[in-house]
Structures are given as structure tokens and as C-alpha cells.
Amino acid sequence: MDVSARPDAATKSGARPIVILVVAAVFVAVLFDCLRIQTEMSRQRDEIARRAIDLGQALAASITPLLGTDASETLKEVVQAFGSREGLTGLAVYNEAGAPLAMTAGVAEFGEPLTRVADAIRTSKPLQEWTFGTRLVHSYTLPLVRQNMVAGVMVLFHDASDLEGWSLGFWELDAMRVLLEVMLVAGLALVVVRRSVDAPVKSTAEWIRRFRTGDVVDLVRLPTSRVFEPLVEEVMHLTKSVVAARKAAEEEARLRDLAEAIWTPERLKEHMRVRLQARSLVVVSNREPYIHVKKGRDIRCIVPPSGVVTATEPVLRACGGTWIAFGGGDADRETSDADGRLKVPPDDPRYTLRRVWLTAEEENGHYYGFSNEGLWPLCHIAHTRPSFEIEDWEQYQAVNAKFASATVEELEGVLNPYVLVHDYHFALVPQLIKAKRPDARVAIFWHIPWPNPEAFSICPWQKELLKGLLGADLVGFHIQFHCNNFLETVDRALESRIDRETFAINRMGHTTWVKPFPISVAFPTATSEPTLTGPVDTERLKAELFRRLRVRATHLGVGVDRLDYTKGLMERFRSLERFLDNYPSYRGKLTFVELGAPSRTRIQEYRDLASALEAEAERINRRFSDGDWRPLVLLQGQHTHDDIRPFYQAADFCLVTSLHDGMNLVAKEYVAARDDERGALILSCFTGAARELEQALIVNPYDLEQVSEAIHTALEMSPMESRTRMVGMRQQIKEANVYRWAGSVFSELCQIGANRATR
């Protein structure tokens, strides 16, 4: 390409919209002028016709008595007298036979109107006609009636040639007006284009140039107009990708120099490429990584907040494969093909999402019924009685079979594939897959606690569930304690051989390994969260949150949970009340904000819990509130990471009071968000996270007094102690992050496959 030709091409390209706009303006102006002239011409013609009718009726009264008499000379005199009136070009009178009786001199120019005269005599009705010859003429033919008989006809001629002159003059005048308008439109268009288009485009180009050369760039310089939103979004997407690539390269280089073993998305991708060796990978979960929902007439693609998604997606992005999940979005069917498949991520397709459709009956029985009214309370032992209905169990079996069938379909023609099944929704899937594809290497990760054998034996179908799980080659839990409980449960319920040294279970010739894999979060680094903004001003952010909440306070506590009876929310609220009783000096100063996400609202226990929490919050606030201060703010709703993160960053402490939890990622999210190395974590001893985050203030959530004292300790803690505790917890999460978790699970599964292949 000739570089020198670019300015001319750019000039022509920039001028093209203005030329189009000018041509459009001219076209519209001419069109409206034509309509206006036509309307005015029609109005003036109507005026001429009206005058002819009025004049004709007036003349008829004078001329009609003279017809059929000997007053022919008088008739001619009257005709000549009226024929000279202004605007009247000619006047002619005819007898009842159509013969002319009298006419003015100018009538001959218009031709003999004999046909019109004959028609008027025949119909006894007046007639009007416009004649276009050398000039425009209007003729009005009026029957002259005497004694109910047509005694003659009178024809009036009006010269309308002035209309043609008026039209021509109007066009000449309007041409000048259109020219001025076009010049004005062109000038304004040029100014608008330069200010609204050229300037933003140039500023965007300058922004990209500075970013490319490594200068610090300011987001304010990018256009803010809605017209440029798609361009700005793509620029920002490209920018973040470039920043991520740069930071990833710098981070990897730094880690190599320091010989560190920090897991990053890039390291996980490379690790899995080597481990999988081009073998196919299939992930099965209830939750899908991308949900399509309708918003008005548009369809939005949403990434749900999920540790499963955060941990697993980098692997599929790196290695390809298929993710099988329940399609629950109201626009999921519209965005998938006939088999429920689509390529994701939308902006950079790397793997296949296979959506499985469930009927309302299947969803109710499988998800709400057996999974969450049966297995969830059973495994959490949180004083809510599990419910086991035969109808729910049948739906659980049917849905597990449907997902297993979909998985087998995706594995068709693939040798020695790897399958990772997520959570308690699909306990039967591993065995169903193995029955059809014994060469597949199957792992299942159980994200919730595993109870002791006595508790699990409550389930009427415990043996079927255990057999389904033991179809897997690898069963993973968060902590060793849950692994121990699982082995004890299998030992009591099934005939099997258990190797407690290697944590392996051999049943009917198949070996299943049971391992702990503590799940975590993606620790925020320059690689994982490339931004162009500076560090957060914690105090300023806290003040802004209080302003938005319309609360006057100086200290902020936060809790982030699904509204679930296992999270100890009622105990949390009462611990806060106990704290305000024990330390009244904090009244008017401390506000605790609970970000509660409604969950499983079709289940009665969850609806009752939401109502009870609302009532308890109102009771505590009625007791302590003073003016603009409230001790407790309960925000029920679906909160995104962007909504939650400011509260994590600004809170003086985070309260996690789960009565029983597999891990609890809220605790880790709070610590990971505190890049200022401030704040305190108050953590239930009944969470898996308490095994790792030893620098947290560990409490028994049932002991309201202990939790109250922990809140006081968190608020009174010295900055040095707070920083020491937070630095230790952050280092733990940084090293044992979610990418390390995913790498460990897949490494163990691949190692099992390698060992069996060598036998």
C-alpha cells in the first residue's frame, strides 16, 4: 500500500458522510417544496373555482330573464358589460339548443365549448374544467333554468396563467433558500463530524498509540458517547488482553528468576497441555459457565459467580473439550444449536458448552428435592431434617442418567478421555459413565462436607449413592476429615477392601482413590486482574458506602452469603446484638452489612429463613437505631463480584459464621481482596477454610459471647497485628490458589490414568 495515498483516502472517506448528508438535505428540501407548491396551487385553483361559481350565480339572475325573448341586443350588452370584470377572461351564453346567443371577444381563443354546453343541457348540472393550452384557463359551465326547464347555458372563462408565473417565481426563490440551507447544513455537519466523530476517533487513536508505546493512559480520554460504546468496549477488551499478556510474561519471568511455585492461569494452561497430551476433557456440573438471559429485547451473556467456573474454565480454555451443564437461562435455547451445543467463550471460542434440558418436574425432583432437601441438609448436619421422597429419588436417578448419556455422546470416538464431575447433584454419574466407557478416567469432586457414617446412613439409598461415587477413579473432598468420613461410610455400608495408607478403595476389581483438594480463589495479581487504576483509598471507599446506604457510622463489618440455614446468619445477627450490649461505646459507630443472596426460594425452609432474618434485623434495628445510624443493614438480592468487592475492601472485619461448611470461599475472597493488608477475618471453626487460615480469629458460631469478643478484638486490634495476620493469610491463599487446586485435581487424575495404562 502506498502510504502517501492514505491522507487523500482518509479525506475522501471523511467527506463522504457530509456529501451524503448534503444530498439528503437537498432531496428532503425539494420534496417538501414540491408538496408545498402543489398544496398552494390547489388552494389557488379552488379560489378561482369558488369565484367563478359566485359570479355565475350572480350573472344567472340577470341573464336568465333575457333568454327566449326579443332582447338579444340587451343580452349582448349585459354579456359585454360583465365580460370586462377583473379576472373574468370571457363570457358566452347559449340557447337551449346549444346555439350561441352572445359572447365576449376573447372566448374564441379558448375554442368552442360545445361538448360541455351539450352535457350541461342534458344533465342540468354545472360543469368545471381546466384547460392547458398556451395558457391555463378555468371554465365554468352553468345551466340557466327557467320554470324548471333549461332555457340556456352560460360559460365563464377565468385566466389562471398567473399561477404558472407564481410557481416559477417560487422555485427561483426557493432555490436560493435551499442553497443557503445546504450550505448551513454542510457547515454544521462538518463541525459536528469533527467534534463528535473526528475528535473522539483521534483521541482513541492517540490513546491506543500511547498505550502501545507503554505510556500511562487515562480512561477518561476515551469517548463516553453511546455511539462509541461498541468501539470503546472492544478497545478495552483488547487492552486488557494485552495488559494480561504483558503481566503474565513478566510474572512468569519473575517466578522463573525466583524459582517460585505460584500457580497462575498461564501455568495451569501449560501444565494441563502437558498432562492431557491432547486427550479430550469433559466437565459435568449443574451450573453452566455462561448463562444467556433476556433483558428487554436483548440477550445478555452472564458469567455466574462460582468457584467451579473460576477453577475449571482455564483448563478448558487451554485444552479444549466440552462442559456439560443444565441450561437454566431463559435465552439458553435460543443461543444453542438443536443439540444444545455452542462454542464459548463468546468473544474467543475455545471449547464447547453442551446444555442439557430438564423438565420442570425433573428440576424440582432432582435439584430442589433430592439434592437440596435431602443430600444438602444430610451432609451439613445443620439441624434441619433431611427429606427423602421416592419421587425425588426417581427424578435424581433420571437426571443423572440423562447427564451420563450426554457425556457418553460427547465421548464418542475419543480414546481414553478424562471426565471431571462436580458435586452432590451427580453422585450416580461416575458409575453410569464407567459402565459405558470403562476406558474413561473419571473424577468427582464433592464440594460440600461428607458427614459421619451414622448421619449418612439416614439416607434410604446410601448404597446406591456410594456405588455411583465409587465408579469414579478419583473422589475429591476439601479436607482430610471429609475423606476419613467417606472411607468410614463405605467401610460400613459396602463390601470393599480399603487401603487406609494410600486412601484407596477396591470394590469388584475397581480402585477408587480418595484425596483432599482444598479449593480456593483466584488471588488478584497483575495477571489475573489487569487494571489501569491505582490503589483503593479504604477510608474514602468506606465513607462512600455509608453515603450510599444512608447510614452514619465510622466502622464497617461485612458478611456475604447465600441465605442458607447452614451459614449461621441468625447466630451472626444475635452475636452482633450481644456485642452492642457488651460494648455500648460502639453504638452509633459500627454498622454491619449483610449481603444476602436469596437461594432455593422454592423450598419452604429457605423462604422461612429469609422472612425470619428480615424480622430479626428489623428487631435489632428498632432496639438500637439512633437517627441516621443503624447497627444492621440486610441487603437481599443477587450481588455480583463488582458489587461485593468494595465492601470487602472497606470493611474493618468480615464475619463468617457457618454452622458447617465444606470450605467457604467468602473467607478467602475477603482476604484476597485486602491488598491494603488491613482488616480482620472472624471465621467459624466449622469451615474447611479454618484449617488453612490459622491467622483468622477462629470462633464457635454457636457461642454468641465468643463471637462478640472476636468482633471487639477485630475492632481494637493494633495495625501491626492486623497486618501480620492479613499478610500470613494472603500468602497462604496466594500459594494455594484456585489454579493450584485445579492443577492438583487434574494431575492426580492424569497420574491414575498413566499408572493404569502401564499395567
Q: What is the CATH number of the domain that holds 120?
A: 3.30.450.20
pLDDT bucket at 707, cuts 50 / 70 / 90: very high
Expressed as residue numbers, the domain containing 234 is 225-258
| Helix or strand holding residue 539 (H, E) | helix 538-549
| Residue 215 domain-assigned (yes or no) | no
Q: Are residues 474 and 546 in the same domain?
A: no
Q: Are residues 379 and 508 in the same domain?
A: yes
pLDDT bucket at 182, cuts 50 / 70 / 90: confident
pLDDT bucket at 20, cuts 50 / 70 / 90: confident
Q: Are residues 380 and 504 in the same domain?
A: yes
Does position 259 have pLDDT exceeding 50, yes or no?
no
Does position 255 have pLDDT exceeding 70, yes or no?
no
pLDDT at res. 9: 47
Average pLDDT over every residue of 326-344: 94
Q: Residue 214 region, left (φ>0) first, then alpha (ψ -120 to 50), else beta?
A: left
Does position 193 have pLDDT exceeding 70, yes or no?
no
Average pLDDT over every residue of 428-436: 97
> What single letter denotes the amino acid at residue 422?
H
| Residue 178 domain-assigned (yes or no) | no
| Residue 754 domain-assigned (yes or no) | no
**Per-residue pLDDT reduced to its tens digit, 117-162:** 888 888 888 888 887 666 778 888 888 888 888 888 988 888 777 7
Helix-then-strand count for the chain, H and E = 23, 23
pLDDT at res. 247: 62
User: Which of 207, 237, 258 is the last residue in one of the domains?
Assistant: 258
**206 against 744, higher pLDDT:** 744
| Residue 207 domain-assigned (yes or no) | no
| Helix or strand holding residue 738 (H, E) | helix 738-757
pLDDT bucket at 10, cuts 50 / 70 / 90: very low
pLDDT at res. 289: 92
| Residue 14 domain-assigned (yes or no) | no
Does position 92 have pLDDT exceeding 70, yes or no?
yes
Residues 482/516, Cβ–Cβ less than 8 Å: yes
Does position 692 have pLDDT exceeding 50, yes or no?
yes
Average pLDDT over every residue of 434-450: 96
pLDDT bucket at 249, cuts 50 / 70 / 90: low
Does position 473 have pLDDT exceeding 90, yes or no?
yes
Q: What is the full DSSP assignment across 426-453?
A: GTTHHHHHHHH-TTSEEEEE--S----H
Phi, psi dihedral angles at 294 (to 5 degrees):
-90, 135
Q: What is the CA radius of gyration of the chain?
A: 44
pLDDT bucket at 213, cuts 50 / 70 / 90: low
pLDDT bucket at 529, cuts 50 / 70 / 90: low
Does position 168 have pLDDT exceeding 80, yes or no?
no
Q: How many CA atoms lie within 13 A of 345 on its CB side?
A: 11
CA dihedral of residues 191, 193, 199, 201 (deg, nearest 10): -170
pLDDT at res. 7: 43
Residue 667, C-alpha cell as written in the block: 473467607
**Per-residue pLDDT reduced to its tens digit, 643-687:** 999 999 999 999 999 999 999 999 999 999 999 999 999 999 999
Provide the sign of the torsion angle of the four alpha carbons 385, 391, 397, 401, taken in this order: negative
At residue 120, the 3 state secondary structure works out as: helix
pLDDT at res. 197: 67
pLDDT at res. 592: 98
Q: Are residues 377 and 339 in the same domain?
A: yes
pLDDT bucket at 11, cuts 50 / 70 / 90: very low
Q: Are residues 348 and 457 in the same domain?
A: yes
A 10 A CB-CB count for 516 gives 17
Domain count, the chain: 4
pLDDT at res. 261: 67
Does position 717 have pLDDT exceeding 70, yes or no?
yes
For residue 353, the cross-strand partners are 323, 342
Can you give the CATH number for the domain in which 312 is found?
A: 3.40.50.2000
Residue 541, C-alpha cell as written in the block: 471507599
Average pLDDT over every residue of 730-759: 83
Alpha helices (runs of H) in 554-698, residue ranges in sequence order: 569-582, 604-624, 641-650, 665-673
Average pLDDT over every residue of 591-605: 93
Q: Are residues 546 and 668 in the same domain?
A: yes
Does position 241 have pLDDT exceeding 90, yes or no?
no
Strand residue runs (E) in 20-134 = 88-95, 100-103, 127-132
| Residue 103 domain-assigned (yes or no) | yes
Q: Are residues 559 and 663 in the same domain?
A: yes
Does position 495 have pLDDT exceeding 90, yes or no?
yes
Residues 88/137, Cβ–Cβ less than 8 Å: no
Q: Which of 713, 610, 604 minimizes the C-alpha distance to 653?
A: 713
pLDDT at res. 171: 67
pLDDT at res. 370: 97
User: Which of 164, 189, 204 is the last residue in one of the domains?
Assistant: 164
**315 against 302, higher pLDDT:** 302
pLDDT at res. 258: 44
Does position 4 have pLDDT exceeding 80, yes or no?
no
Q: Are residues 497 and 593 in the same domain?
A: no
pLDDT at res. 179: 72
| Residue 245 domain-assigned (yes or no) | yes
Residue 149, C-alpha cell as written in the block: 326547464
pLDDT at res. 165: 64
For residue 157, the cross-strand partners are 90, 139
Does position 758 have pLDDT exceeding 60, yes or no?
no
pLDDT at res. 448: 95
Q: Are residues 320 and 351 in the same domain?
A: yes
From CA 576, how far away is CA 18, in angstroms rounded? Answer: 67
Provide the sign of the torsion angle of the four alpha carbons 677, 683, 689, 692, taken in this order: positive
Mean model confidence pLDDT for the chain = 85
| Residue 180 domain-assigned (yes or no) | no
Q: Are residues 346 and 492 in the same domain?
A: yes
Q: Are residues 460 and 326 in the same domain?
A: yes
**421 against 182, higher pLDDT:** 421
Average pLDDT over every residue of 110-116: 73
User: Which of 164, 179, 212 is the last residue in one of the domains?
Assistant: 164
> What single letter denotes the amino acid at residue 739?
Y
From CA 315, how far away is CA 269, in angstroms rounded? Answer: 6
| Helix or strand holding residue 507 (H, E) | strand 504-507
Q: Are residues 503 and 563 in the same domain?
A: no
pLDDT at res. 236: 72
Provide the sign of the torsion angle of the four alpha carbons 266, 270, 271, 277, taken in this order: positive
Q: How many CA atoms lie within 13 A of 472 on its CB side?
A: 29
Does position 361 have pLDDT exceeding 90, yes or no?
yes
pLDDT at res. 228: 65
> What single letter denotes the amino acid at residue 175?
A
From CA 695, how far away is CA 678, in angstroms rounded? Answer: 13
At residue 582, the 3 state secondary structure works out as: helix
